[in-house]
Structure 1
Amino acid sequence: MAEHPIAVRRAIEAVSHLVDPEPPWQDILRTARDMVGADSGTLIVFDARHNLLNLSSIGFSDACVADYQNHYYRCDVLERDSRLSPCGTWLDTATMYQRGQLQRTEFYTDFMVKHRMAQILSLVIESNAVMHAAIGFQRSTVDAKASGQLQSGGVARYFRTLRSQLVQREKALAIGWRSIESAFTDVGEAVLLISKDAMIDRMSTLAARYLDDGHGWHVRGGRLRHADGKMQALFESHCLAVARDGKACSLAAASGWGELFWIDISAAPDALNLIGGRMLLVRMRRKSAFAPLDVDRLESVFAITHAEAAVLAGLATGHSVEEVATLRNASVLTVRKQVASLLNKMECSRQSELVRLASLL
């Protein structure tokens, strides 16, 4: 493998865009492949259960992509033998396996040979509780010196740059997450960042409290789960649907007498997506039929006085005008006047309509 300065420069220019919300992986793979001198290049991402999350490739035929996605990812010897390898580990079929050893594997005989791959070199670029990802290069001939050459000179500088950009992307993701967590916590909502198969990458402090209180939703094996099998199946189907078409979904799950969790599932912003995979944002709100309404919020939303908001909160809780008057140490006449003012300001004709509007908050 000869090192070409122009190819190295183009590859470094492409990889500098890894910090973009949507990195140009096709350009990154093409320039990296050309720099390495391989026949094809791939970005392959697996989840924590070793399911294929994403395959991006340059130089693969449609048949090769289909074969890998439909079956051969399950017997990928490099993925299997690198699951515990840290980021920065280089893998090379020419040095990891004796020729006879590799040739006895299904992956080699039925996939590599069919698609004219004699050697695969792969660099682990992410390895955590949520995913395992590698950028790989496939050659039609074996070069025993290839892996050593990838770790020296301008090519090695390129891969150091790639890892550095991935670190920067992770830092930007952390900053974006803190902003989102703060915004939702301020309005009383728990939030989680999960993969399409419900593996949790991040969760807010409020979400951690919700998942630790024994009311249905919990974490098991790193995944967000519900104690009820039907609810779990519905949640998983919603996650797959959102990952597929990007349209938000919602569901509600009972969490006790008069209480429920309202769940909103949406596609995460591009800046929160991990390597090569769409992430999902899960918002949780706990609703209780017995929880008092926020008087300050009622006042702000409906542009009413604080006293009127307190009366509205009492009515929405189920109290009569007389009971609200008693609770507020006010006369029934005063409360009736405040109800009349509420009907006028909120453009309602009946007291039941006031309660319905208030309950929407």
Structure 2
Amino acid sequence: MAEHQIVLRRAIDAVHHLTDPEPPWQDILRTARDLVGADSGTLIVFDARNELLNLSAIGFSDACFSDYQGHYHRCDILERDSRQALAGTWLDTARMYSPAQLQRTEFYTDFMVKHRMAQILCLIVESNSVMHASIGFQRASVDLNASQRMQSGDFAQYFRTLQSQLAQREKTLAIGWKSIESAFSEVGEAVVLLHKDGRVEKMSALAVGHLDDADGWTVRGGRLRHADSKVQRLFDTHCAAAIRDGKTRSVATASGWGEFCWIDISVAPDTLSLIGGPLLLIRLRRKSAFAMPDVIKLESVFSITHAEAAVLAGLAAGHSVEEVATLRRASVLTVRKQVASLLSKMECNRQSELVRLASLL
């Protein structure tokens, strides 16, 4: 009894770290497996199209991990038969299928038997339109009372704690996403949270307006797509590379005469991932060659007067000194003096350098 309490305490201590920026899933799975009395433990996440998003396992051999990830997730009978089940539902092969039914499935005969699994128990921990996730336990022998035992006493306490901590993490993620959305929106950037297969997890309100171009970037089938296949291949390549080495990549695409869309691709913070697996943070901003630079921003960034910033904006928009003078109802001499002041303050030698600096904003 004392040993059981020690195992329970370790398992609960581990699951309390679900709200950490990077949850220790291996420790959570290890202590949960020991508490349940199983041979192995898994965290398995599928997307809305029933494709495997993430597999974490403790106690799996390399061959078992490879077999499931490479093929057998596609014929996982528990995943197939629980797609409509709600979070909190327990699944048990020993209770859901008779021995004869199991033996007629490829999953049992070619995967479970090969890897000495007589019974699989799993708890659905997340079930929504985006993902279907479960924490599972594999046993080499059948215990017909196992699933009932998991729903009573100390076991029930543990799994309630697990689900409570996941719910708390989900709330924290929602707050974090709102902060990111707000911060980037204030500087005119749209943001999209993306899975490695291109499936959209979240997008900011500004992104909705950016992703409605029939000839450019859109969301089709829940995935971020571009009308040009060459652009799409380049984007997919950059996404894969960013996940691999953590370095930011950028893609620029034309979105009309004199306009283009600039996209930065980087690995999202772990604090935005609910149940493991890498996510990408996509930042989008549209630029136009005909857009008038922001006078207030020029004034602030280059520490110049408001009048000088207005002149600089006019030059950056392609106007001559004479045209800027006309637009500002000032004399050409006054504008020339302001240009000279700009050259001094911004440490430039030519007017073209002023324009280049202004165009960077």
TM-score w.r.t. structure 2 length? 0.97
| SS of alignment partner, residue 82 of structure 1 | coil
Q: Which deviations, in whole Å up to 9, do the C-alpha atoms of 1:131-182 show, x marking residues without a partner?
A: 2211000000111111111111110111111000000000000111111111
Aligned equivalents of 1:293, 1:322: Cα separation in 2:
19
CA-to-aligned-CA distance 1:116-136 (integer Å, 9 cap, x gap): 000000111112232221100
User: Are 1:205 and 2:205 matched, yes or no?
Assistant: yes
Q: In the alignment, is residue 358 of structure 1 matched against residue 358 of structure 2? A: yes
Tell me which residue corresponds to 2:309. Answer: 309
Q: Deviations over 1:291-310 (max 9, x none)?
A: 11000101111111111111
Q: Is 1:195 equivalent to 2:209 in the alignment?
A: no
Give 1:65's aligned amino acid. Answer: F
Rounded to whole Å, the distance in 1 between the matches of 2:269 and 2:37 is 35
Distance in 2 separating the partners of 1:155 and 1:182: 41
User: Take 1:154 and 1:166, find their aligned partners in 2: how far apart are those partners?
Assistant: 19
Q: Does 1:338 align with 2:338?
A: yes
Structure 1 equivalent of residue 151 of structure 2:
151
Partners of 1:85 and 1:121 in 2: CA distance = 15
* C-alpha deviation, 1:219, in angstroms: 1.5
CA–CA separation in structure 2 for the residues paired with 1:245 and 1:46: 24
Q: Is the 8 A contact 1:193 1:280 kept in 2?
A: yes
**Contact 2:214–2:227 (8 Å) recurs in 1:** no
**Alignment partner, residue 176 of structure 2:** 176
Name 1:47's counterpart in structure 2. Answer: 47
Q: What's 2:262 paired with?
A: 262
Matched residue pairs, number?
360
What secondary structure, in the 3-state scheme, does the structure 2 residue paired with 1:252 have?
strand
What do residues 302-349 of structure 1 show as CA deviations (whole Å, max 9, x unaligned)? 111111111111111110110000000000111111111111111111
Structure 2 residue 85 is the aligned partner of structure 1 residue 85: yes
Letter in 1 for 2:81: D
Offset of 1:29 from its aligned partner?
Answer: 0.6
Please give the alpha-carbon distance, in whole angstroms, between the structure 1 residues aligned to 2:49 and 2:246.
23
> Any stretches of 5+ residues in structure 1 without a counterpart?
none
CA distance in 1, matches of 2:258, 2:127: 43
Distance (whole Å) between structure 1 residues aligned to residue 19 and residue 276 of structure 2 = 13
| Structure 1 letter corresponding to 2:341 | S
Compared CA separation, residues 235 and 212, structure 1 to 2 (3 A): same
2:239 — aligned with what? 239
Distance apart, 1:214 and its partner CA: 4.3
Alignment-mate amino acid for residue 62 of structure 1: D
Give the structure, 1 or 2, with the largest relative contact order (CA under 8 Å, sep 6 or more): 1
Contact 2:189–2:283 under 8 Å retained in 1: yes
| Correspondence for 1:35 | 35
Segments of 4+ moved more than 6 angstroms: none
Counterpart CA distance in 2 for 1:214 and 1:70 is 35
- Other structure's SS at 1:4 match: helix
1:106: Cα distance to partner?
1.3
User: TM-score, normalised on structure 1?
Assistant: 0.97
Give the conservation status (yes or no) of the 8 Å contact 1:117–1:140: yes
Q: 1:334 corresponds to which letter in structure 2?
A: T
Contact 1:88 1:123 in 2 (8 A): yes
1:215 Cα shift?
A: 5.5
Identity %: 75
* Corresponding residue number in structure 2 for 1:222: 222
Indicate yes or no: 2:297 matched with 1:285: no
What letter matches 1:230 in structure 2? K
- CA distance in structure 1 between the partners assigned to 2:354 and 2:58 by the alignment: 61
**Alignment partners' CA distance in 1, 2:63 and 2:275:** 24
2:67 and 2:116 mapped to 1: Cα distance? Answer: 13
Aligned AA for 1:169?
R
Is the Cα–Cα contact under 8 Å of residues 130 and 199 in structure 1 kept in the other structure? Answer: no
Equivalent residues of 2:192, 2:207 under 8 A apart: yes
Do the aligned partners of 1:316 and 1:358 also contact (CA within 8 Å) in 2?
yes
**SS of equivalent residue, structure 2 residue 262:** strand
What is the rounded CA distance, in whole Å, between the counterparts of 1:113 and 1:225 in structure 2?
A: 41
Shift of 1:241: 1.9
* CA–CA distance in structure 2, aligned partners of residues 244 and 88 of structure 1: 34
Matched, 1:167 2:147: no
Structure 2 residue runs without a partner (length 5+): none
Moved more, 265-274 or 134-143: 265-274
Name the stretch that deviates more: 303-312 or 97-106. 97-106
State the Cα distance separating 1:35 from its structure 2 match: 0.6
Structure 1 distance, partners of 2:225, 2:357, is: 33
SS in structure 2 of the partner of residue 22 of structure 1:
coil
User: What amino acid maps onto 2:350 in structure 1?
Assistant: R
